[in-house]
Chains A and B, each alone.
Chain A
Amino acid sequence: MLARAAATPPAVGSSLPRENHTVSIRGVNINIQGLGYRYSTRGKPTFSNLRLESQRGEALAIIGRSGCGKSTLLHIIAGLNRPTEGSIQFDGKTVDGPSSRWVMMFQAPHLFPWMKVSQNVGIGLRFAGWPEKEKAERVAEALRLVELSDYAETNVQDLSGGQQQRVALARSLVMEPELLLLDEPFSALDAFTRASLQRDVRSIAKRLGFNLIIVTHDIDEAVLMADRALIMAGAPGKIVHEFQVDLADPRQRQDPAVQSMRARLMDAFHAAAQISGSAAQEMEEEAISGIA
């Protein structure tokens, strides 16, 4: 059994954004070997023989061109889609379905329109049978983090796209899972909110020790949030390059070390371009627009 974590109501209060938190042993060793996936039996494979390993507590960024299979990969890792070949193991145990211990935030918010903001954020804890009071405390903290405390009682249909995305982020974060999978989580946000959430999500993951896998189009985001970046190319999806992001925390965009790391990640795209031709070419263009 993995360490019991998010699914079990805690004896002590919430640990979400509290500074004096003692580092818990959370996170998983992820081991994916020979992964193959097809959406339909006759169709082209989305992946074949994909390999991915990640250590306990690592923050991983996956960057790749639109349609190369990033979202599909996250769905499979989250246990929502079953691999057609190969397997996914967390700490040596095969993943055989979704769980509140590995939670994904989807590319679209998909909020429940009949629930208020706070109910949307608390739904996972409700599924796990948390007592009302502890649940409310954790939800309030998650909402504070995404700067939506004033909207707790609002109908989610009255929120802007970016606000909805932040509710979806809070809904995943509030679970304090062992592995958090984020699919382009900040794409609809303004630069300021995005920068502060990039910093906060990384620091929470590091403090609580959980794994992070973040899919992004934004090179900056990969440099600011990840310990390691994987470059993915499509048809069928594979990881064509990996890149160590050795930077001290906290990371600042203007920091020369960050700037040079970004330049090197860009070079890595050039290298990937040689491998996968026009696909990587477009990637690079996206990367440039990401910086602008």
Chain B
Amino acid sequence: MPVNAALTGSLTSRAAQAATRGVVNFSLGLAILAAIWWLGGYLIAANPKTQSFAGFGLLPTLQAFPELWSLGKLQKAIVASGYRLGGGLLIAAAIGVPIGIVMGRSKRFRELSNSSFQFLRMISPLSWMPIAVFVFPAWDQSIIFLIAVASVWPIMFQTAAGLAKVDPAWFKVARNLGAKPVQMLTQIIMPAISFDIFTGIRLALGIAWVVLVPAEMLGVTSGLGYAIKDARETLSYHHLTAMVLTIGIIGYLLDTCCVFLLRRFSWHRGDI
């Protein structure tokens, strides 16, 4: 029908317009940030007093990337940090999701555990460092422990909150149709709260990424945090900013992955 075609036509063109505008604004935002950076770098380089810090500028930083890549420093730092981040998050999810489910299901457990969890949650993750070093034989393990401690809370609380929102009638319907407890977990509870679990993981990722870098400045000899410390000590400032930039880019990409997963697993209408 012509009316229909016109309607869908205008709809698709509107969607295309919105997408184009998104891309333009995204690039424009980045361009403005780059321009400010470039200007700052230019002023630092122009001033004889601060000339020795010219490596912080935009252009030296961009030049540092191929340098670091060919030295293998960039890849090695990313792999080392990624391993710690992944390990820590995995442990946090493996602990946080089941405890969150018990919290959401059992009022008794929620009341019993609330005070201790709220208390433990408020302890800065980095303050566990001396104890972690004491307990774990390797630095890697203590950093993974710190990441896990930092990121377990949002996963746990989001999971519990998600379960609290679940319609109890769904459990009744499933029981009525003969669901066994395992099936209740895998086919009703998990899909019902997958959105909340991924929201928790997304929050946890943000915290873990923030904790990772300072943790790596204490002791270890690999990873992005160490690379920054190393660059500072060797006065190679353009390497330092390149590493900082890398941290930002990776964090951004990881968060984008999370948003993608959230979209994929969300059944709520109008969540994102």
| Residues in chain A near residue B167, CB distance under 8 A | 110
Q: Is A126 an interface residue (CB 8 A)?
A: yes
Determine the distance from Cα of A99 to Cα of B187 in the docked complex, in whole angstroms. 17
A171 lies within 8 A of chain B by Cβ: yes
B164 contacts partner chain A, Cβ-Cβ < 8 Å: no
B172-193: which have CB < 8 Å to A? Answer: 172-180, 183, 187-188, 191-192
Provide the residues of chain A in CB contact with B179, threshold 8 Å.
Answer: 127
| Chain B residues positioned under 8 Å from A123 (CB to CB) | 174, 177, 187
Q: Using an 8 Å CB-CB cutoff, how does the interface string of B186-223 with A read, 1 for contact, 0 for none?
A: 01100110100000000000000000000000000000
B169 at the interface (CB under 8 A from A): yes
Cα A99 to Cα B177 in complex, Å, equals 7
CA distance A61 to B140 in the complex (A): 69
**A245 at the binding interface (Cβ < 8 Å):** no
**How many of chain B's residues touch chain A, expressed as a range?**
20 to 34
Given contacts A80-B172, A127-B183, contact A112 B177 (CB under 8 A): no
Are the CB atoms of A98 and B175 closer together than 8 Å? yes
Q: How far is the CA of A184 from the CA of B173 in the complex (A)?
A: 16
Question: For the complex, is A124 an interface residue (Cβ under 8 Å from B)?
Answer: yes
- The interface size of chain A toward B, counting residues with CB under 8 Å, comes to 23
Which residue on B lies nearest to A111, using beta carbons?
Answer: B173
Interface pair A110/B177, CB less than 8 Å apart: no
Considering the complex, give the chain B residue whose CB is closest to the CB of A112: B170
Residue of A nearest to B191 (CB): A114
User: How far in angstroms is the closest Cβ of chain A from B167?
Assistant: 7
Knowing A100-B177, A123-B187, A127-B183, the reply to whether A108 touches B169 (Cβ < 8 A) is yes
Main SS of the interface on chain B? helix
Interface centre among B175, B178, B183, B268 (most CB of A within 10 A): B178
Given A80-B172, A114-B192, verify A124-B267 contact (CB < 8 Å).
no
Q: How far is the CA of A123 from the CA of B187 in the complex (A)?
A: 9
Q: Does A113 contact B (CB under 8 A)?
A: yes
- Whose C-beta in chain B lies nearest to the C-beta of A104? B176
Q: Is A99's CB under 8 angstroms from B173's CB?
A: no
CB distance from B25 to the nearest CB of A (A): 31
- For the complex, is B269 an interface residue (Cβ under 8 Å from A)? yes
**Which residues of chain B are near A114, meaning CB under 8 Å?**
191-192, 194, 267
Asked if B180 contacts A127 (CB within 8 A), the reply is yes
The residue on B at minimum CB distance from A100 is B178
Q: How far is the CA of A104 from the CA of B172 in the complex (A)?
A: 10
A106-B173, A127-B183 known; A112+B188 contact, CB < 8 A = yes
Q: Nearest Cβ in chain B — how far from A246, in angstroms?
A: 32
Q: From B172, B177, B192, B267, give the contact of A127 (CB < 8 A).
A: B177
Once bound together, how far apart are the Cα atoms of A112 and B194, in whole Å?
14
Q: How far is the CB of B264 from chain A (nearest CB, A)?
A: 12
Contact of A128 with B by CB under 8 A: yes
In the assembled complex, the Cα of A114 lies from the Cα of B195 at a distance in Å of 11
B15 to chain A, nearest CB (A): 19
In this assembly, does A244 line the interface, its C-beta being within 8 Å of a C-beta of chain B? no
Q: Which of A100, A103, A126 interacts with B187 by CB under 8 Å? A: A126
Interface string of A114-135 (1 = CB under 8 A from B): 1100000001101110000000
Q: How far is the CB of B35 from chain A (nearest CB, A)?
A: 45
**Identity of the chain A residue whose Cβ is nearest the Cβ of B169 in the assembled complex:** A110
In the assembled complex, A7 has its CB within 8 A of some CB on chain B: yes
A249-263 residues with Cβ-Cβ distance < 8 A to B are none
The answer for the CA separation of A127 and B185 in the assembled complex, in Å, is 12
Closest chain-B Cβ to A223's Cβ sits at a distance in Å of 28
Most chain A CB neighbours (cut-off 10 Å) among B167, B170, B179: B179
22 contacts between A and B (CB under 8 A): A80-B175, A98-B178, A104-B176, A106-B172, A106-B173, A106-B176, A110-B167, A110-B172, A112-B170, A112-B173, A112-B188, A112-B191, A113-B268, A115-B191, A123-B177, A123-B187, A124-B177, A126-B187, A127-B177, A127-B179, A128-B178, A175-B177
Q: Which residues of A line the B interface, CB within 8 A?
A: 7, 78, 80, 98-100, 103-104, 106, 108, 110, 112-115, 123-124, 126-128, 157, 171, 175
